[in-house]
A and B are shown apart, each in its own frame.
Chain A
């Protein structure tokens, strides 16, 4: 295999791992705890920015980019800092939005929060360098390992895969624990769960923060790989891509999250890049005007999502019914219809 192909495939693999991490975190929040977090990408972004600024070194006057709190922390501190920063932010946002708001209000407040975050990062240029974003983020241990770029990239892919596997085991631990069962029960009927004496808000907040930490770590792994991060990378529709992955893969199923990440952000968005730019139609050579192919790519993504929802509304890997919660019964008892 050519080096170029190896670069491409390892890049896709790293993207896949990062997306799987991201989707696992969101699936924990949405699929397991029923929190509709339209601002999820913000927590990824905060992780990315945090990892970037603590590894870029102190800012200096003639620098081509400006940011707060520059430091040169060694590996793996930037990743831990990213998880911590996103976790703290999740706690604050969760305390504000999860306690009192109805779930549809929560969803829309999160959407608005996502926009506020983008606007702030764009306009407060001293914070994280405004619209230009941060660049030249050092790759972890690049100098110490002393590997050629391609080998380094494969090592990075293994590292990202390791983190993803750990995340998977951790999330599975939560979903299979009594805590996970309580969470699902509470998602399906919070009044019944409350009647059993579970402190709903505290549990949801806990899971919201755990999901946020995962998002932050995935952002850190991402930025340390692509070495650049700007507001254009985390506009609010990016969260929808993750949500689509969950719906396609199967909500509340961790394997579903993995497959969803493989199909939607990596598969759909990448495969459409292979659409031809010109073709022969009835012997005539047709060249598509620039931009048309790209517009049609997005149409194709939309259609694919619809097709999946139509034929597999429960996702490719449906949630397995829990042994202890006859949730269908509880749900139907709790609803008017």
Chain B
């Protein structure tokens, strides 16, 4: 029992990383309806971008910003030059999943070819650790949680308080109607990829700050928990993704401490399935039947 409280603290750290990644994933999916399975690889690519900056002497937190920028631009270009081209040629949603898988293979193995099969670490100065109510957290972990909160609040404000946010939600619900109401859906889609890519880039670096070291598969290994968090909360729902992230993060850490560490993912994913049995649309989603996947 004494291990439960610290486990909750650890769960919050995992949840922060997952939340940043899952919100980015779900945001882009809701606007563009492309299930981007190369998301984890873009995280890895961004982590490498930060690595290059970091080893050129740039501070890790500044490198994180550069990774966000890299992720944003990379994602937007990925959409413009690959995904959107296929969509325009009439590739349907299911074919698009295959396209994203192909891109995942390509990105991952180009990284492997360029950086070679070994492991990389950032230069991070050690940070002091603090104890809150039995939870032990270091300065950089607090920073990670802070980043998650800031990112979440920004996404919230953006989508509810700005014209752009409205346009994104309109595009997500019904792109045809949005277009005929004068929304420049192409630009909205670009912005969605930029935003999602920035969150993806941040998530990549933050993930590596946790794993302490990374290789070309680090991001891809994290993809399924991200998807699980997004689905658990209800796809296309940023708040749902946050809730899903917290659930999965806490469940896996608590499972590791009280059940058996090797089953931590099994427990977290089993929760996803149980929740979906009770609420088939996810925790927060109202059923948007127009967004059904057409095979």
What is the interface of chain A, defined by CB distance below 8 A to chain B? 30, 34, 36, 96, 100-105, 107-109, 111-113, 115-116, 119-120, 122-123, 187, 236-237, 240, 243-244, 247, 251, 289, 291-292, 295-299, 301-303, 305-306, 309-310, 313, 331, 335-337
Mark contacts of B91-121 with chain A using CB atoms, 8 A cut-off: 1 yes-contact digit, 0 otherwise: 1001101110111111011101100110000
Which of B176, B228, B263, B276 is within 8 Å of A336, CB to CB? B176
Q: Is the CB of A104 within 8 A of B101?
A: no
User: How near does chain B come to A296, taking the closest CB pair, in angstroms?
Assistant: 6
Nearest chain A residue, comparing its CB with the CB of B118: A291
Which of B102, B104, B265, B291 is within 8 Å of A104, CB to CB? B291
* Given A109-B231, A116-B270, A305-B102, also A296-B109 (CB < 8 A): yes
* Given A101-B280, A303-B102, A336-B174, also A309-B295 (CB < 8 A): no
B128 contacts the other chain (CB 8 A): no
A–B pairs, 27, beta carbons within 8 Å: A36-B293, A100-B280, A101-B276, A102-B281, A102-B287, A104-B35, A104-B292, A105-B281, A109-B273, A109-B276, A112-B224, A115-B269, A116-B265, A187-B295, A243-B97, A244-B98, A291-B112, A297-B109, A298-B106, A303-B106, A305-B102, A309-B95, A310-B85, A310-B89, A331-B294, A336-B177, A337-B175
CA gap between A25 and B255 in the complex, in Å: 36
Q: Is the interface of A mostly helix, strand, loop or mixed?
A: helix
B235 contacts the other chain (CB 8 A): yes
* Given A105-B280, A107-B35, also A302-B103 (CB < 8 A): yes
> In the complex, how many residues of chain B place their beta carbon closer than 8 angstroms to a beta carbon of chain A?
57
User: How near does chain B come to A190, taking the closest CB pair, in angstroms?
Assistant: 9
Mark contacts of B259-276 with chain A using CB atoms, 8 A cut-off: 1 yes-contact digit, 0 otherwise: 010110110011011001
User: How near does chain A come to B61, taking the closest CB pair, in angstroms?
Assistant: 31
User: How near does chain B come to A240, taking the closest CB pair, in angstroms?
Assistant: 5
Which of B105, B117, B289, B293 is within 8 Å of A291, CB to CB? B117
User: How near does chain B come to A332, taking the closest CB pair, in angstroms?
Assistant: 11
* Given A111-B224, A337-B175, also A298-B277 (CB < 8 A): no
Nearest chain B residue, comparing its CB with the CB of A303: B106
Residues in chain A near residue B57, CB distance under 8 A = none
Residues in chain A near residue B104, CB distance under 8 A = 302
User: How near does chain A come to B21, taking the closest CB pair, in angstroms?
Assistant: 15
* Given A115-B269, A309-B98, A335-B294, also A96-B112 (CB < 8 A): no
Count, A-B residue pairs, CB within 8 A: 154
Which of B95, B116, B228 is within 8 Å of A112, CB to CB? B228
* Given A104-B293, A244-B98, A336-B290, also A116-B109 (CB < 8 A): no
Residues in chain B near residue A116, CB distance under 8 A = 265-266, 269-270
Q: Is the CB of B227 within 8 A of A111?
A: yes
Q: Is the CB of B110 within 8 A of A299?
A: yes
Q: Is the CB of A291 within 8 A of B116?
A: yes
CA gap between A79 and B230 in the complex, in Å: 39
Residues in chain A near residue B295, CB distance under 8 A = 30, 34, 36, 103, 187, 251
Residues in chain B near residue A237, CB distance under 8 A = 101
CA gap between A103 and B291 in the complex, in Å: 10
User: Which 5 A-B pairs rank lowest in CB-CB distance, beginning with the nearest?
Assistant: A302-B105, A302-B106, A100-B280, A104-B293, A123-B262
Residues in chain B near residue A244, CB distance under 8 A = 98, 101-102
* Given A112-B228, A123-B263, A291-B117, also A305-B293 (CB < 8 A): no
Residues in chain A near residue B291, CB distance under 8 A = 104
Residues in chain A near residue B102, CB distance under 8 A = 244, 301-303, 305-306, 309
B182 contacts the other chain (CB 8 A): no
CA gap between A132 and B64 in the complex, in Å: 39
Nearest chain A residue, comparing its CB with the CB of B260: A123
B282 contacts the other chain (CB 8 A): yes
CA gap between A296 and B116 in the complex, in Å: 12
User: How near does chain A come to B251, taking the closest CB pair, in angstroms?
Assistant: 13
